[in-house]
């Protein structure tokens, strides 16, 4: 029976499918040389120290699509296959992005409070909001989820533009410069991977280009947006609104951000529905079971695709 190191929680359904095949070890009690497989998630990953200590490691199965907390290049160099759970969460994260955008445009939180606090009865109709129809929406990262966001926005008839490392074979307009794209946009939706290549790429300059009537949506990683610059821009009116599912130091969200009325804030729940989390758990386990059976996997990260 191969030995599996469990980093982070797993559901009962996942455990029930793994237990007949793997001896599961918790992080507090295991013998490093025994471990051939690791199950983890996108937030916890595998630290370089743990990875280096597991001399017989063959495979890491990570729950979630982002895997910047795992050194996949080093894993590939050692012949360790890393898998993740792409695609099964595309629609859910795309829905979260659209919800955040609409909530900002139509001031859902302000107007919800308008009813709850009795302002409606005291002061009459709520102030008008902005229409989300026919906006220019810039998507930063037009990958699997970015394309799902573009499709899901269709009923609002947006003009879609995008920035990624390379242009895609799509009908949307490509910008090779993020700031130049932000100048053209009413809304900027971030859905790139995290990690060093995207660290702080949505900076003060990009926010100023988006402008006082602009809306920033982030459903990718908190690290992609310069958070202190965002607080400043939202506070002094350089940027209009922000809808955020992710933050620089989760679960700590700066009080200054929480105090701003022009934000909608979610606790990193982009994919967090019962159905989608079950699908992510199933794929995480399927990768492990298939590897235990015949050494192949279903959804390797690109760095390990050739292994
Ligand atoms: O490599 P490209 O040209 O396909 O662009 C990818 C883009 N991207 C970047 N764009 C600008 N600057 C960068 N430094 C940069 N690095 C990557 O992000 C691609 O268009 C997109 C990522 O797409 P996928 O790999 O299909 O990822 P998926 O499944 O859409 O998930 C995106 C992220 C995850 O990594 C989690 O952080 C989050 O959504 O849940």
Query: pLDDT tens across 105-163, in order?
Result: 999 999 999 999 999 999 999 999 999 999 999 999 999 999 999 999 999 999 999 99
Instruction: Locate 264 and state its tokens.
Output: 């909608």
Q: Given this model, what pLDDT does residue 76 score?
A: 98
Contact 139, 191 (CB under 8 A): yes
Q: Given this model, what pLDDT does residue 11 score?
A: 98
Interval 247-276 mean pLDDT = 98
Contact 164, 144 (CB under 8 A): no
- Known catalytic residues are 221, 250, 268
CA distances from 218 to 97, 146, 200, 214 (A): 8, 12, 12, 13
Q: How far apart are CA 248 and CA 254, in angstroms?
A: 9
Q: Given this model, what pLDDT does residue 98 score?
A: 98
β-pairing, 81-83 with 136-140? unpaired
Report the atom number in ligand 1 closest to the C-alpha of 64: 40
Report the atom number in ligand 1 closest to the C-alpha of 221: 37
Q: Given this model, what pLDDT does residue 231 score?
A: 98
The pLDDT mean for the chain works out to 98
Q: Given this model, what pLDDT does residue 101 score?
A: 99
The answer to whether the CB of 221 is under 6 A from ligand 1 is yes
Q: Given this model, what pLDDT does residue 163 score?
A: 98
Angle (CA) 141 145 146, round 5°? 40
Give me the residues paired with residue 137 across strands. 160, 187
This prediction's pTM = 0.98
Interval 76-84 mean pLDDT = 98
Give me the residues paired with residue 61 across strands. 39, 83
- Share above pLDDT 70 across residues of the chain, in percent, rounded to a whole number: 100
Query: pLDDT tens across 153-211, in order?
Result: 999 999 999 999 999 999 999 999 999 999 999 999 999 999 999 999 999 999 999 99
Show the DSSP H helices in 54-143 as ranges. Answer: 72-77, 90-105, 108-116, 119-123
Interval 46-50 mean pLDDT = 98
CA distances from 269 to 43, 134, 198, 247 (A): 13, 27, 21, 12
Where does the pLDDT of residue 270 fall: very low under 50, low under 70, confident under 90, or very high at 90 and above?
very high
Where does the pLDDT of residue 60 fall: very low under 50, low under 70, confident under 90, or very high at 90 and above?
very high
Interval 287-292 mean pLDDT = 98
Q: Given this model, what pLDDT does residue 237 score?
A: 98
Q: Given this model, what pLDDT does residue 287 score?
A: 98
Ligand 1 centroid to 144 CA: how many Å? 8
Q: Given this model, what pLDDT does residue 131 score?
A: 98
- Site to probe by mutation for ligand 1, drawn from 147, 191, 192 as the one with most ligand atoms within 8 Å of Cβ, is 192
Ligand 1 centroid to 168 CA: how many Å? 12
Query: pLDDT tens across 7-20, in order?
Result: 999 999 999 999 99
- Site to probe by mutation for ligand 1, drawn from 164, 224, 276, 280 as the one with most ligand atoms within 8 Å of Cβ, is 164
Higher pLDDT, 203 or 29: 203
Q: How far apart are CA 141 and CA 145, in angstroms?
A: 8
Q: Given this model, what pLDDT does residue 119 score?
A: 98
The answer to whether the CB of 192 is under 6 A from ligand 1 is yes
């Amino acid at each position: 029976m191969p030995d599996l190191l469990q980093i982070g929680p797993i559901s009962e359904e996942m455990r029930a499918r793994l237990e007949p095949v793997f001896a599961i070890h918790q992080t507090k009690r295991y013998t490093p040389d025994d471990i051939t497989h690791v199950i983890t998630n996108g937030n916890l990953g595998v630290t370089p120290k743990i990875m280096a200590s597991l001399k017989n490691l063959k495979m890491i199965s990570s729950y979630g699509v982002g895997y910047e907390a795992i050194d996949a290049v080093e894993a590939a160099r050692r012949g360790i296959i890393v898998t993740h759970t792409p695609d099964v969460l595309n629609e859910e994260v795309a829905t979260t992005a659209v919800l955040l955008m609409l909530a900002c445009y139509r001031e859902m939180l302000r107007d919800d409070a308008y009813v709850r606090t009795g302002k409606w009865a005291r002061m009459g109709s709520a102030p008008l909001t902005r229409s989300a129809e026919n906006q220019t929406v810039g998507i930063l990262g037009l990958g699997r989820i970015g394309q799902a966001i573009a499709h899901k926005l269709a009923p609002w008839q947006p003009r879609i533009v995008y920035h990624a490392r390379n242009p895609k074979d799509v009908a949307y307009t490509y910008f090779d410069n993020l700031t130049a794209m932000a100048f053209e946009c009413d809304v900027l939706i971030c859905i790139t991977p995290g990690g060093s290549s995207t660290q702080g790429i949505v900076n003060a300059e990009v926010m100023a280009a988006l402008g006082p009537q602009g809306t920033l949506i982030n459903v990718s990683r908190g690290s992609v947006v310069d958070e202190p610059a965002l607080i400043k821009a939202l506070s002094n009116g350089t940027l209009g609104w922000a809808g955020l599912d992710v933050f620089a130091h989760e679960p700590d969200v700066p009080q200054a951000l929480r105090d701003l009325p022009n934000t909608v804030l979610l606790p990193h729940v982009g994919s967090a529905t019962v159905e989608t989390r079950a699908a992510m758990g199933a794929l995480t386990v399927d990768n492990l079971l298939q590897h235990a059976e015949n050494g192949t996997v279903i959804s390797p990260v690109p760095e390990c695709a050739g292994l």
